[in-house]
Structure 1
Amino acid sequence: TGSYVAGKVGLETLTGASVTVVNTSGSANTVVFTGLKDGVQTTVTKTAASVKSLFGLRSIYFRVNEQYGGPVDPPTFNDTAGSGHEANIEWAAAQGITPGCNPPANTSFCPEQPVTRGQMAAFLRRTLGLPAASMDYFSDDSGNIFEGDINAIAEVGITSGCDGGPSFCPDDPVTRGEMAAFLNRAYGLAASSVDYFNDDDTSIFEQDINRLRLAGITLGCNPPTNDNFCPDDPVTRAQMATFLHRAVDG
C-alpha cells in the first residue's frame, strides 16, 4: 500500500513515485518519491540500487506500480498481463515450478496452452520436491524429456498410468478430472460428503473433484453459478498455476 511505501522512504503519506533517470540499458537509475512529512510536502530521492534493496526487488529493472504507489518487479512473462491467473503464474515462476514455454529465452508462459501429462508430471515433481525414482514405470516415455518426472510421481502413487497401463501417454493433454486425481493423490485431500457439481456424475474422478472443491482448490468452470466442473476439458497452463498455488497454500 501507499502507507507501506511511505514508511519505507521516510514519509508519512505518499502522493507520488516515479523513475526520473533511466540508464542506457533500460534499468532504473534514480527514483523520486513525493509526499508529506511533518505536514510538509517533501521529496525523497533514492538510487535504484537502494530501492532494490529496500523493497527486496530482483534487480534494478523495476517499474513503479501506480496502484501500489511504489516500485515492483516487472512481470516474469510477456504474455500474462491481464490474466486472472497472473498472480498464480508469477508464484509458480518464483517457486521454480515453471521456467516458461519458449526456451532458452523463456520470456513467455503460453497461459492458454493445454498442459500435457508429461508437463504436469514435471510441475508436480518440482512443487513437491520429489527425488529420483528407483525404477522405470512406463513403456511409452523412453527418451521423453519428462521421463524422470513421470517416474518420480509414479513412485509415490500420484499416477498409475493411462488406459490401464503400462503406458503414461506423456503427450496427451491433462483433463480437469485427471488434474483433480493428481492433486488428491499428491496432497491426500479430505473426503467430501457433498456432491458439488452437476456434470461429473459419470466421471471416474467424481470423488477427486469433490475433494478438490471441498479444499477450495477449484470453484467450478461456469461462474458465477459454478455448478459444473467440466471434467473432460483440458487444463490450461494458467489454470495449472492456480490449482497448484491453492493446493500448496492449503
Structure 2
Amino acid sequence: MVKRSFFFVVLAFILTVPLLGFGQSASAAGFVDVPYRASKEVNYLAEGGIANGSSATIFGADKTVTRAEAAAFIGRALGLDGTKRETKFVDVGSGNFASGYIQSAVEGGILSGYDGGRFLPYKEVSRGEMAVMLSKAFGYSFGGTLSGAANALTSRGIASGVADGSFGSSQMIKRADFAIFLARAIAPTFRTIQTDEFKTTMWSNTGDLNVRSGPSTAYASKGKVAKDARVSAAHKVGNWTYIRSGTTVGFVNSYYLRSTETSSATKPPVSTADPRLTSQTIILDPGHGGSDPGAIGFGLQEKDVVLKTGLKVNNLLKQTPFNVKMTRSTDVYLTLANRAAFASRNNGNVFVSIHANAASASATGTETFYSAAANSQNAADSKLLATKIQERMIAAWDLRDRGVKEAGYYVLKNNTVPSALLELGFITNKGDNDKLKSDYWLNSMSKAIYYGILDYYNAKGYDVNSLYNVAK
C-alpha cells in the first residue's frame, strides 16, 4: 500500500512539471508560445527591442517569417533608420510597419527587390534566403550563392542543417528559428561553436564607457571601460563593436572607440583649417545631472540623454583644431551659477547648453534660445549661433520647427560669451522621445550641433570647410 501511494505521488509530480527539455513551450519575454530551445534568444532580442510579437503574450514562434518582418528584425539589430517613409517599391507604402527598415536595408545592400519595382513584403522567407540576408547584414563573405551563405553561417556556429543532412535552403523559416540565428549572429555566446576572435586593438575615447550585453542602450551594462583604455575588438553590429576588456566582454558604441593610441592622432592637420581655430574654445553644457534628472518621459531622463548627446558632440570637436570643454562629462550636479561662469573660467569663446523639452503629450518640436541681455556684440553672435544650430537640428530630425527665441535663462543672460540653449525635442512626446532614446537619432543630432557650430564660425569668417568631413 505504501509503494502504491508513492507511485501515484511520483506520477502526479511528473505530470505537473513542465517538460521543457522535450520541446514544450517556455515563457520568453512574456510570450507563451516560444519553444524552450528558442527562449534565451527571443528574450535577448526582445530585451533590445529587436523582436516583438503580435501581442504582449504571443510571439508567433511557429509562423513563417515574411520579407517585411526579416527587414524589421535585421534593421533593428543594426540600428538602421526605421522611420516609416516612402520607399522605392510600388508594393511598400509609407504606412507599412517596416517601410523604413526596408528602404534602409535596400540602400545598405542587405536586401533587394524584384522586377516591376516590387519588394513582395509578405512573401515568406526560406532558410537559404535567410542565410543570404544575414551574410550581407553582418559582412560575411559568401560568394553570392545560397550554398556559400549557408556555409558562412554553419562555419560560425550560427545555423545548422536539417534532418536529411542538408541545409534545407528551400524550406521556409519560422520566426523562432530566425530569432535564434539572428541572436547568434549578434552575440557569439549563443553560437554552437565559439568562432569570434578579438584580433583588433582599439582605444576608448571617453571614460565610464558602458560595455553592454547587446548592441543598443536598451541592453544592460556588464561593466565599464576607462578613458584611453586598450580593448580587443571582434565584429561590429551596426554602430556597435563587440569587445573584450579584461574579463568583460560585450558591446560598446563604435563612436567611442578609436584605432590609434593617442586621441590627438585622429585630428586633421591644423594646416587644413583656419589656424585661428586653435585659439577657440567651445564649451558644451549638458543640462541637469546628478540629483537633478530634468524632465522625464516614458522612462527616459533628460539628464541622461543630453549628457550622451554632449559627449558625442565633444568627440566630434576633439577631432578638430578647436579646444573643447564640458561643464560635466559624468552624472554630476552643477549649479546654474557654476555653469554660467564656466566659460569665463576656461577662456571659452562659444557656450552651447543642451536640453530636452517637456510639456503636454501633444507638444513636439525643436527650438533654440539666446539672450539679448548681454552686450550688443554677444547678443548678435548668440542669435547667429542659435540660428545656425537650429537650422541644422531641424534638417537632422525634421521635427516641428519651433524657431529661435530670445529668453532670459540664467546660463544665457549671465554668460560672458556667445551662448545658445538647445531644446532637442519633447521628452514627453512619444515621437520625439523615440528619437531621444535612439543612438541612431542622437548621432544624427550630435552631427547637426557640430555642423551648426561650424556654420557659425564660417559666418564669422573662419575657414572651416575641411572640418565638415569629420562627421561624415
Q: TM-score, normalised by structure 2?
A: 0.32
**How many residues are paired up?**
160
Q: CA deviation at 1:124?
A: 0.6
Q: CA deviation at 1:242?
A: 0.4
Runs of 4+ in structure 1 deviating by more than 6 angstroms, as ranges, are: none
CA distance change for structure 1 residues 135 and 233 in 2, over 3 Å: closer, same or farther?
Answer: same
| Superposed CA offset, 1:89-139 (max 9, x none) | 11111111122222xxx2111111111110111101100001258972222
Q: Does 1:182 align with 2:133?
A: yes
The runs of 5 or more residues in structure 1 that have no matched partner are 1-73, 193-202
Pick from 76, 81, 84: which aligns with 1:131?
Answer: 81
Q: Where do 1:193-212 residues align within 5 Å?
A: 204-212=145-153
Q: Does 1:88 align with 2:41?
A: yes
1:177–1:232 CA contact under 8 A, matched in 2: yes
* Partner Cα separation in structure 2 for residue 165 and residue 156 of structure 1: 20
Pick from 62, 65, 71: which aligns with 1:112?
Answer: 62
* Partner Cα separation in structure 2 for residue 165 and residue 227 of structure 1: 37
1:218–1:243 CA contact under 8 A, matched in 2: yes
SS in structure 2 at match of 1:138: coil
1:80–1:86 CA contact under 8 A, matched in 2: no
Match of 2:97 in 1: 145
The code of the aligned residue for 1:228 comes to S
Q: CA deviation at 1:144?
A: 2.0
Q: Where do 1:22-37 residues align within 5 Å?
A: none
Match of 2:389 in 1: none
Q: RCO higher in 1 or 2 (8 Å CA, sep ≥ 6)?
A: 1
Q: CA deviation at 1:180?
A: 0.5
Q: Where do 1:21-100 residues align within 5 Å?
A: 75-80=28-33, 82-100=35-53
Q: CA deviation at 1:216?
A: 1.5
* Partner Cα separation in structure 2 for residue 140 and residue 190 of structure 1: 30
Match of 2:54 in 1: 101
The code of the aligned residue for 2:32 comes to D
SS in structure 2 at match of 1:79: strand
Q: Which has the higher helix share?
A: 2
Pick from 146, 155, 159: which aligns with 2:111?
Answer: 159
CA distance change for structure 1 residues 191 and 170 in 2, over 3 Å: closer, same or farther?
Answer: closer
Q: CA deviation at 1:80?
A: 3.7
| Superposed CA offset, 1:70-103 (max 9, x none) | xxxx74234246431111111111111122222x
Q: CA deviation at 1:204?
A: 4.8
CA distance change for structure 1 residues 208 and 216 in 2, over 3 Å: closer, same or farther?
Answer: same
2:45–2:183 CA contact under 8 A, matched in 1: yes
Q: CA deviation at 1:207?
A: 1.4
CA distance change for structure 1 residues 166 and 99 in 2, over 3 Å: closer, same or farther?
Answer: same
CA distance change for structure 1 residues 239 and 108 in 2, over 3 Å: closer, same or farther?
Answer: same
* Partner Cα separation in structure 2 for residue 132 and residue 75 of structure 1: 25
1:100–1:107 CA contact under 8 A, matched in 2: yes
2:34–2:176 CA contact under 8 A, matched in 1: no
Identical counterparts, % of pairs: 32
Q: Which has the higher strand share?
A: 2
SS in structure 2 at match of 1:85: helix
Match of 1:238 in 2: 176
